[in-house]
Amino acid sequence: MRYVFKIHFLLTLPIVLACLAPARPIKADDSVNYKDLSSKENEIYDFFAFGVDSSGNSIVASKDGGFVTFRGKLIMVMPWHVFNWPSQNLWIVSLVNVSQHDFYIIYLYLDGSFDGTPKDGFWIFEYAIGTIQWVGPLVGTQRLNRTVVKTPSTTMPKIEIQPYPKVWNSLRVSSPSFSLDAQRGFLNWGSMNLTVYPILNLFNVTDRDDTWHELWILLKDPVGKNYYFAIIYMFTDDKDHVKMGYMLRLDDYMVFVPPANIINAHWSYVAEFRQGTTANASGEIATKFDAELFLFLEILAILFIIIAALVIATYFYSRLE
């Protein structure tokens, strides 16, 4: 297995050397309809990471940006936050990719080296299909120091994301300022009344003695037309408060620290008849979509064959006449 890692490492190295320049976090096919807008220069810790897994998935990233290759797709990324998870002895780098109609959120784990251990990897969430995948273990190199640096400013695409819930949400919230049911809710945040869409449920996230749930959400400002990504933390020993994590404005990568980090809001786990649906629900939707797509393509192929046969028959019939 380690030889396989080395082969992928060597095959990816030329790409790495060609991509050390600051990356633009959009894809070529999304280079239309630009706003007069550039991304914010966020302060993060200086880091560098290059790793490849046994399937050829990889990541190359630094404070200047980088890219992820995932299932044959090249995804340009930009870091926006770095934080420490002491109990797991990990530094976690938050990265993002925003295109015109989609976005990716990536959490990269750094523990001092990419030597193929189970924690060497990253989570990647794609909004379009609502799924989160683990990529790893990775083999390569990494470093992180406490030097505070700024990310570069990059041109942003005009976002035209269609906001939809990506999960049948089982983590409900109820309060005058924050309410969320299975599919939609609202959050009064500063002077804004944001519409909330649940996009991922993560249950029983354990950090030694503390257990909590995570609710990933997409927020839209109906007035300002901006989009936000955030994570809500729900601790099992406190059902009357939720903790608001950092919010990322997807339009320009502005990072916000919520004015009220702890929100007075009752939360509950409501399984209903969809118990156990987390990212699996989105996966089932994606599988169903794939099946319907293949069926549609099969029908098109059959129609094409029939039409081609009719054209050929007509041609030969006309020649006989």
Q: What is the pLDDT of residue 295?
A: 52
216-265 per-position pLDDT tens digit: 999 999 998 999 999 999 999 999 999 999 999 999 999 997 666 899 99
Q: What is the pLDDT of residue 319?
A: 63
31-58 per-position pLDDT tens digit: 334 446 899 999 999 999 999 999 999 9
Over range 75-101, report the average pLDDT. Answer: 95
Rounded CA gap, 27 and 68, in Å? 12
Q: Is pLDDT of 167 > 60?
A: yes
Residue 205's pLDDT band (cuts 50, 70, 90) = confident
Domain parsing of the chain, residue ranges: 2-157, 171-274
Q: What is the pLDDT of residue 308?
A: 72
Q: Is pLDDT of 297 > 60?
A: no
| Least confident piece of the model among 26-30, 87-91, 119-123 | 26-30
Over range 299-314, report the average pLDDT. Answer: 69
Bridging pattern class, strands 139-150 and 34-38: unpaired
Q: What is the pLDDT of residue 38?
A: 92
Q: What is the pLDDT of residue 36?
A: 61
- Greater confidence (142 vs 318) lies with 142
Q: Is pLDDT of 83 > 90?
A: yes
Q: What is the pLDDT of residue 208?
A: 60
Over range 120-132, report the average pLDDT. Answer: 96
